[in-house]
């Protein structure tokens, strides 16, 4: 695989995937918040049915939060391998500034992974807290009957 194609894998593949996962996280979060606002607890007679409806899509958000740093790290590893390949391919004097520039750019994938993972984890925890609150409210309603 030529060097430029590897660079494109990091720039467009890994970063693009992380951007997509970020949009997916926020879309699912918005959908969940809207659902939680409109849910009618009194319509549920079984706790498990309520839990199923409330936790829908939460595992996806959690998976994104957990795996985004690894996806970013994969991009960084590919970019560092590419940098070493460039160093090894040069027969003339190696410019340390150019090498540092390549290594710095390699870290952008890890940074992107963290930028996706941190909000996804915060969103997941916030939504899970809301699920716990709604289930507790349902249980109180059931006790009052």
- Along the 145 residues of the chain, how does pLDDT read in single tens digits? 566 676 777 778 899 999 999 999 999 999 999 999 999 999 999 999 999 999 999 999 999 999 999 999 999 998 888 888 878 776 656 777 877 887 888 899 999 999 999 999 999 999 999 999 999 999 999 998 7
Residue 3 confidence (pLDDT): 66
What pLDDT score was predicted for residue 105?
80
Spatial distance between the Cα atoms of 55 and 36, rounded to a whole number of angstroms: 10
pLDDT reported for residue 99: 79
> What are the sequence ranges of the domains in the chain?
3-144
Residue 93 DSSP symbol: -
Cα-Cα-Cα-Cα dihedral of 120, 121, 127, 128, to 10°?
150
- Residue 108's nearest CA partner among 84, 65, 79, 70 is 79
Which pTM was predicted? 0.86
């Amino acid at each position: 695989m030529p060097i430029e194609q590897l660079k494109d894998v990091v720039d467009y593949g890994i970063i693009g995937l992380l951007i997509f996962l970020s949009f997916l996280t926020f879309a699912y979060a918005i959908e969940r918040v809207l659902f939680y606002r409109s849910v009618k607890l009194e319509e549920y007679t079984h706790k498990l049915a309520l839990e199923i409806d409330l936790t829908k899509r939460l595992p996806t958000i959690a998976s994104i939060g957990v795996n985004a740093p690894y996806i970013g790290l994969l991009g960084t590893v590919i970019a560092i391998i590419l940098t070493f390949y460039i160093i090894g391919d040069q027969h003339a004097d190696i410019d340390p500034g150019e090498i540092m520039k390549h290594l710095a750019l390699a870290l952008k994938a890890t940074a992107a992974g963290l930028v996706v993972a941190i909000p996804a984890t915060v969103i997941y925890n916030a939504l899970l807290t809301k699920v716990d609150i709604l289930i507790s409210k349902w249980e109180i309603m059931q006790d009052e009957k």
